[in-house]
Amino acid sequence: MTQPIKFGTDGWRGVIADDFTFERVALVAPLAAQVLKETYGDTTENDHTVIVGYDRRFLAEEFAQKAADAIREAGFDVKLSETYAPTPAFSLAAHQQKALGAIVITASHNPGKYLGLKVKGGFGGSVNPDVTQKIEARLDSPLPPVNIPGTLESFDPWPGYCETLQSKVKIDEIKEAIASRQLSVFADVMHGAAAGGLQRLLGDGVHEINGDRDPLFDGGAPEPLPRYLSELFRQIKSHSAKTDGVTVGLVFDGDSDRIAAVDGDGNFLSSQILIPILIEHLSTRRGFTGEVIKTVSGSDLIPRIVDLFGLSLHETPIGYKYIADRMLSNSVLIGGEESGGIGYGTHIPERDALLSALYVLEAVVESGEDLSRTYRRLQEQTGFTSAYDRIDLPLASMDVRAKLVAELENNPIKEIAGQAVVDCLTVDGYKFRLADGRWLLIRFSGTEPVLRLYCEADTIQTVSKTLSWAKDWALSQN
């Protein structure tokens, strides 16, 4: 059965030709434009203009054209990208061109059979849930045709985007470090929209991996997780054995709003590790100030780093739209998710993997340290050491998902892997704090039948034991 159109943590996504069809895109896109106008029309100059962009997925250009045509026929002026680009490039374009917002055809990190539609506000970030709820509420009442359609023109989002990112960092220092071979940079773009991005920003010294277009993503998913990065690990280990400089691997998801990294020894570094490194760099070497925002799945090291550098902390549910909303009304240094989405008060309120990559490289150049050495030093300074992992458990159907939700609500868990539950936070999923200090978060995907299990503990063995318990619990409920 075709799934209803429902916006999750960041956009509406569905299986191509089943849930995500040309007809449905033509329905949703103009409704989104109308809600953007009602919400932001009084605060922007070009209150009839909408940006439309796309990534490199199957039929992405065709879906973007369909969205653009439907929005134009509803009376709006449309600026349609002439090429793929990162989602944050379209958020920036909407902000710089003072448009109502952007409609981006992308399914981010989902497997190749999915496509999706993200809605961005003219302020340059994800709209809050109230906006997407209004779009959903109007699906049964499509807009009537207008007598005078809008205009349609194409544009290239890359030049303005790259110029803006280069202005945020000490770009010449990074380029010089690469040219002098003090720094080697590898980039796994996972066949996605970041392809060519670091070369545009830094020149030809970047070693790009998986830069070709592959809508099937090698049979996996364009998500920055270790199981998809074997070639990056191999190349970095081979290269590091031949150089005395620092080697950094950078990983970008399908639409380049999420990032991970790999150190010179081939160790995977999630944003749980990168965010503390970036907090130190931005607050001490760059002298930036402001609040640090983390989601409920963020590492317990982050509050300790915040205290170490005299900053303030705010916690939100998972989903960058919550971070973006906070950034609109507060002075923010950095806001980040465990899944790799990181944004900055120096930029638009949007997670941006290419900007994060530049800040990571800037931190390496100015510290002269391998990323893992910096992370270990911060652990020593705070006196806090931990391990973290997450597993995604596919569910048979959305009905199974509903059954697990009911079980969590009606039969609260009292003990996990031999440890008593001392607290349960339900702001987003179910985050159980256990007697020995570890935590387990049980949370459901907003866009597909997947159960997400997160854990942080003192050792990776304890993390694995806890996640195995959670997996067994979930499977026993089927």
pLDDT for residue 1 is more than 70: no
How confident is the prediction for the chain on average, in pLDDT? 95
Confidence band for 180, pLDDT divided at 50, 70 and 90: very high
Question: Distance (Å, rounded) from C-alpha 478 to C-alpha 424?
Answer: 23
How do residues 245-279 score in pLDDT, each as one tens digit?
999 999 999 999 999 999 999 999 999 999 999 99
Question: Distance (Å, rounded) from C-alpha 452 to C-alpha 318?
Answer: 12
Q: Backbone phi, then psi, for 290, in 5-degree steps? A: 130, 175
* Domains in the chain: ranges and CATH: 7-156 (3.40.120.10), 162-382 (3.40.120.10), 387-476 (3.30.310.50)
> pTM of this prediction?
0.94
Q: Which of 64-68, 113-117, 229-233, 242-246 comes out lowest in average pLDDT?
A: 242-246
pLDDT over 90 for what percent of the chain? 85
pLDDT for residue 205 is more than 90: yes
Confidence band for 449, pLDDT divided at 50, 70 and 90: confident
DSSP letter assigned to residue 5: -
How do residues 98-118 score in pLDDT, each as one tens digit?
999 999 999 999 999 999 999
Q: Backbone phi, then psi, for 113, in 5-degree steps? A: -75, -10
Strands 332-336 and 291-295: parallel
Q: If you average pLDDT over residues 226-239, what whole number do you get? A: 95
pLDDT for residue 478 is more than 70: no
Q: Which residues contact 364 (CB under 8 A, 6 or more apart)?
A: 183, 246, 248, 370, 371
